[in-house]
Structure 1
């Protein structure tokens, strides 16, 4: 029987490694930028075409590589960061395994131009599917230029699973956002399809956060800073009133590396306990500087999960640090003595004597005695009880009046309540606790959830408008400006056509800023900025690609955000109009996400309950 176990060829082994390290174009961007950071670059340019499918190019002014280093860098497990096993526990660089470049070269066409400062000429290296096609000397600037073309060209099964350009672009921007927040001292430039979409000059941390998140966040940031023997914790959290429903803009960094850490997230939420509404989340940008020997970053291929040696202690320090910062924010404001309307406090003078204040009173005054000519009569006032009794007898209802009143009330009930409540054509409606509408039907008592009913109505309306592009827009009196992060702006661009179909009028002002000039007429006077931000967050969470699913998601989100809220009092005309619209819908019994709108209590059930009583 022949042997069946054999060694894999390097090309296949590299493709297997690429499956773990390179999941999508964003993974390539991340690995190449981290290599540039390790090379000491102070300026990094990223050039993208077709969301990374056609081209990903990273240009840096780092120290570059020699011809030999450039060739060896694409061999598996070739690295300059590790010499012995102990080095794994004292890592201060971004990449160290030596898997990124060979993995990228295994599933794409790679071209490298690199030169060191001490060299007169550089090196050009071309690799396609792990095969070196060309290596020669060229003239180039100091640093490294790596171009990755046609990702997954030789792995069609992997290329087939790439999502739409909007989704892949959003993932690229997300990776860039994480890296630039970790390195505010480095200049970053992003070009997409030959157009510059991002320019971040070197700056301090707070300014870098504002550059990415928009100017509005500047007033919401609360600084945290604590240094202990276990390490340093610093960064910013946002004020409780600026919390959002989504978990966007939440970042942890350890020694300049972005990580995910649910355990530390619970520490942040514990610090915000009783300060937030349910399902609300603050934004935070929290940085740890710890001894590299006290953490292990080698537990995940993408190095986004980290083990801490003193995890519980750091949890306590983080929670207390945030609580202290929030306490300072909530402290009473200091008294401003320079204000014009401030209360003047008199200066104490020892030479002046203080006198007891005097109150003038009349000891003979009695409010129960009448006063005539400033003299007091000590006899109580007299009341004419007989006159009062005669008036009472005069107004006393007679038997004829009682019968007349009873007949009038009966006629009133028959002409209004009887007509409205029992008529088959126009049943009366009653709003119960500003939440449900009760109405009589042939089979019993129908209960309608007013909020869910309006969601159903608006969903059908918005979806039809999106599909037919017949949304009615209402011009706003004062255009609103909305500033977004690069990833949020990319998301908004992907749903812009559908938003315009509903009735939104949005214009791009550049630099991830948009102006809102019109809103759908159905949403009335609602503030459009939180509405659009909610739609962006919903789109980011669902990450839908099919056009019909995106349209339904937008229609449902708009309906939920603009539907009649619980607690709103409705007039009889409004209730009638709402019910008429509901039963004109195709599926009036349920909301688009399956919640019950209508429930009927039958006559038999009502009679059974009454008999039991």
Structure 2
């Protein structure tokens, strides 16, 4: 007697449901994808008890005939493909033919559908995968699917569902992802008979602001880039919008919501030091690629994909995001005000097509970038003072300008379409404590509580944290010095001796070569004792021993927590320990030199650890605060 037997369809469907239907949100996703594939222009989602009692999806799509309706609930029955070769040209969201069979096998399932050519709708009622009733009823064109008592016949699966709050959050995130991707569809959602939203127009801003908060869309940077292989369209957020979960990173392949670790990591790396520890950038990015170059048939849930050439995708994706991040003014405003240049409710011309449909049609590659802060400095300075360019600080000043910074200044800034900035503040000041210009003019730059630097810009004021600003300058300078072997050491007249503990000496041995490249001339002097004979030019006299010990301590702490690359770790530790501190009084010349050097860096808006360096307070914000509207 044979030991192997074919499982009944009802059993096979229940087993399959374990992969396809993991929770109520899985049901929602499959039903919504079917509605979209059916060409619906209106979709309504209704849930009760976080989907455990009822899930209903109503669409006005093409509907189905009796034969198709019956087949749709059969396993491996689909209208999306007819052969394996169709997977190479697949543009529909569904194609596996498993969803409705799996859903109906673990619920009380009802399907009502009507084609435009039929006078009455067809109604089919299933229980545990078995057809119980078929009838003709009145109904609108399209399809309505009701799923009641999910997992009623699989108690173990129902028992492992989470709280209503958790399950509803997953449902809401699923609906949100598709409502944002398909702006051409009118979406409505109810929870326990309460209407949550009703989107009647395709304005992506309205939807983003509903899901993420008032004026959220005003703080996003639009991205558009494409070539013959890949197109990238969508939005990324400012660092001030970061403290979010990675569920707020939405990636779409040909308008299919996906999860992909490579894209998420590339996005994180592109932001670099703009992110503090455990922060994740907001992103809603649409990638368009030939269907034959991506495999969506990886998992029954269809969330995972495999690229034919993942390296090529990353090599285009990463630089596009990195370039947008580096060229954009990410300095936070003091209050949540709309971005300059785009009145509320009005689309910028360059983003109009992107906001309207987020489709992948041919257009020249471009990227939305602004340099409002630089522009404000330049225009304010030229208007208020001499147009003669201020001479850059000399090498012997407290914050010297490095040759590497000058090279970057001439290349990156110039390529962004701005004049080369050899100085930010071009007005001349008296080098005294008053902060006033000659002739008694109003002050344009001053120090607040020996901690913050206040600067006037064209449309308001800018506040700079002097410590983290100097950190940013020292960090980038340290990386340049180590990577380019730029001479950076000055010999000490009297060498300093430092005794290291065992763990400190082990760390020292690990980073000795990079310390030398950074400018530390160190010599062994007995057991775990080191003689400091030369130091980088930025190290203040009298702090040589403390700086070295603090750097070793900071390096070890970063290595255990953040897993940084060695030189990046060393540069972070060096800049943090050697930067000027809050409470240190600066002269006008020192403040001006610090600002000049800050805007020569590649990322002037955050310190190496992700803290903001600059905050802007605009005149219109002040006007609103004082009621001058």
| Interval containing the TM-score (normalised by the shorter chain) | 0.5 to 0.7
Question: Take 2:160 and 2:167, find their aligned partners in 1: how far apart are those partners?
Answer: 11
Question: Take 2:153 and 2:267, find their aligned partners in 1: how far apart are those partners?
Answer: 45
Structure 2 counterpart SS, 1:274: helix
Question: Take 1:11 and 1:75, find their aligned partners in 2: how far apart are those partners?
Answer: 10
Does the 8 Å contact 1:121/1:139 carry over to 2? Answer: yes
Structure 1 counterpart SS, 2:207: helix
Question: Take 1:340 and 1:325, find their aligned partners in 2: how far apart are those partners?
Answer: 27
Aligned residue for 1:41? 40
Which piece of structure 1 moves more, 119-128 or 199-208? 199-208
When residues 255 and 65 of structure 1 are mapped into structure 2, their CA distance, relative to the original with a 3 A threshold, is same
Structure 2 counterpart SS, 1:334: helix
Which piece of structure 1 moves more, 117-126 or 326-335? 326-335
Structure 2 counterpart SS, 1:272: helix
How far has the Cα of 1:146 moved from its partner? 0.8
Question: Take 1:154 and 1:269, find their aligned partners in 2: how far apart are those partners?
Answer: 43
Question: Take 1:36 and 1:246, find their aligned partners in 2: how far apart are those partners?
Answer: 29
1:314-463 alignment to 2 at 5 Å?
A: 314-330=313-329, 331=371, 332-335=373-376, 342-343=383-384
1:5-44 alignment to 2 at 5 Å?
A: 5-44=4-43
Offset from partner CA, 1:346-370 (integer Å, 9 cap, x none): 99xxxxxxxxxxxxxxxxxxxxxxx
When residues 219 and 154 of structure 1 are mapped into structure 2, their CA distance, relative to the original with a 3 A threshold, is same
Say whether 1:307 aligns with 2:310: no
How far has the Cα of 1:276 moved from its partner? 2.1
Does the 8 Å contact 1:230/1:310 carry over to 2? Answer: no
How far has the Cα of 1:138 moved from its partner? 1.8
How far has the Cα of 1:341 moved from its partner? 11
Question: Take 1:210 and 1:19, find their aligned partners in 2: how far apart are those partners?
Answer: 35
1:283-294 alignment to 2 at 5 Å?
A: 283-294=282-293
Aligned residue for 1:210? 209
Offset from partner CA, 1:80-130 (integer Å, 9 cap, x none): 011111012211111111100011110111111111112222211111111
Does the 8 Å contact 1:251/1:285 carry over to 2? Answer: yes
Does the 8 Å contact 2:244/2:282 carry over to 1? Answer: no
Question: Take 2:23 and 2:273, find their aligned partners in 1: how far apart are those partners?
Answer: 40
Aligned residue for 1:178? 177
Question: Take 2:42 and 2:265, find their aligned partners in 1: how far apart are those partners?
Answer: 36
1:457-606 alignment to 2 at 5 Å?
A: none
When residues 238 and 132 of structure 1 are mapped into structure 2, their CA distance, relative to the original with a 3 A threshold, is same
Aligned residue for 2:88? 89
When residues 231 and 160 of structure 1 are mapped into structure 2, their CA distance, relative to the original with a 3 A threshold, is same
Structure 2 counterpart SS, 1:215: coil
Which piece of structure 1 moves more, 7-16 or 269-278? 269-278
Question: Take 1:26 and 1:46, find their aligned partners in 2: how far apart are those partners?
Answer: 12
Question: Take 1:201 and 1:231, find their aligned partners in 2: how far apart are those partners?
Answer: 31
C-alpha RMSD of matched pairs (Å): 2.4
Question: Take 2:192 and 2:26, find their aligned partners in 1: how far apart are those partners?
Answer: 19
Offset from partner CA, 1:28-69 (integer Å, 9 cap, x none): 111111110000111110111111111111111111111111
Question: Take 2:261 and 2:9, find their aligned partners in 1: how far apart are those partners?
Answer: 37
How far has the Cα of 1:206 moved from its partner? 4.1
Structure 2 counterpart SS, 1:281: coil
Offset from partner CA, 1:424-470 (integer Å, 9 cap, x none): xxxxxxxxxxxxxxxxxxxxxxxxxxxxxxxxxxxxxxxxxxxxxxx
Aligned residue for 1:129? 128
Does the 8 Å contact 1:231/1:290 carry over to 2? Answer: yes
Aligned residue for 2:263? 264
How far has the Cα of 1:345 moved from its partner? 7.4
How far has the Cα of 1:194 moved from its partner? 1.1
Unaligned runs of 5+ in 2: 330-370, 389-580, 583-629
Aligned residue for 2:151? 152
Aligned residue for 1:165? 164
How far has the Cα of 1:248 moved from its partner? 4.1
How far has the Cα of 1:234 moved from its partner? 1.1
Aligned residue for 1:53? 52
Does the 8 Å contact 1:232/1:290 carry over to 2? Answer: yes
Does the 8 Å contact 1:336/1:342 carry over to 2? Answer: no
When residues 245 and 184 of structure 1 are mapped into structure 2, their CA distance, relative to the original with a 3 A threshold, is closer
Aligned residue for 1:504? none
Question: Take 1:56 and 1:245, find their aligned partners in 2: how far apart are those partners?
Answer: 28
How far has the Cα of 1:275 moved from its partner? 2.0
When residues 127 and 236 of structure 1 are mapped into structure 2, their CA distance, relative to the original with a 3 A threshold, is same
Does the 8 Å contact 1:46/1:190 carry over to 2? Answer: yes
Say whether 1:119 aligns with 2:118: yes
How far has the Cα of 1:202 moved from its partner? 3.2
State TM-score, norm by structure 1.
0.54
Question: Take 2:84 and 2:206, find their aligned partners in 1: how far apart are those partners?
Answer: 39
How far has the Cα of 1:218 moved from its partner? 2.3
How far has the Cα of 1:179 moved from its partner? 1.6
How far has the Cα of 1:258 moved from its partner? 1.0
Question: Take 2:232 and 2:108, find their aligned partners in 1: how far apart are those partners?
Answer: 42
Structure 2 counterpart SS, 1:176: helix
Structure 2 counterpart SS, 1:244: coil
Question: Take 2:319 and 2:12, find their aligned partners in 1: how far apart are those partners?
Answer: 47
How far has the Cα of 1:195 moved from its partner? 1.0
Offset from partner CA, 1:135-174 (integer Å, 9 cap, x none): 1222211111111111111222222222222221111112
Question: Take 1:301 and 1:337, find their aligned partners in 2: how far apart are those partners?
Answer: 56
Question: Take 1:323 and 1:97, find their aligned partners in 2: how far apart are those partners?
Answer: 37
Question: Take 2:147 and 2:278, find their aligned partners in 1: how far apart are those partners?
Answer: 41
Does the 8 Å contact 2:96/2:300 carry over to 1? Answer: no
When residues 115 and 246 of structure 1 are mapped into structure 2, their CA distance, relative to the original with a 3 A threshold, is closer
The alignment of Structure 1 onto Structure 2 pairs a total of residues equal to: 348
How far has the Cα of 1:280 moved from its partner? 2.0
Does the 8 Å contact 1:245/1:279 carry over to 2? Answer: no
Structure 2 counterpart SS, 1:198: strand
Aligned residue for 1:377? none
When residues 242 and 54 of structure 1 are mapped into structure 2, their CA distance, relative to the original with a 3 A threshold, is closer
Aligned residue for 2:194? 195
Aligned residue for 2:622? none
How far has the Cα of 1:288 moved from its partner? 0.3
Question: Take 2:80 and 2:275, find their aligned partners in 1: how far apart are those partners?
Answer: 44
Question: Take 2:247 and 2:19, find their aligned partners in 1: how far apart are those partners?
Answer: 25
Does the 8 Å contact 1:45/1:60 carry over to 2? Answer: yes
Aligned residue for 2:578? none
Question: Take 1:54 and 1:278, find their aligned partners in 2: how far apart are those partners?
Answer: 40
Say whether 1:247 aligns with 2:288: no
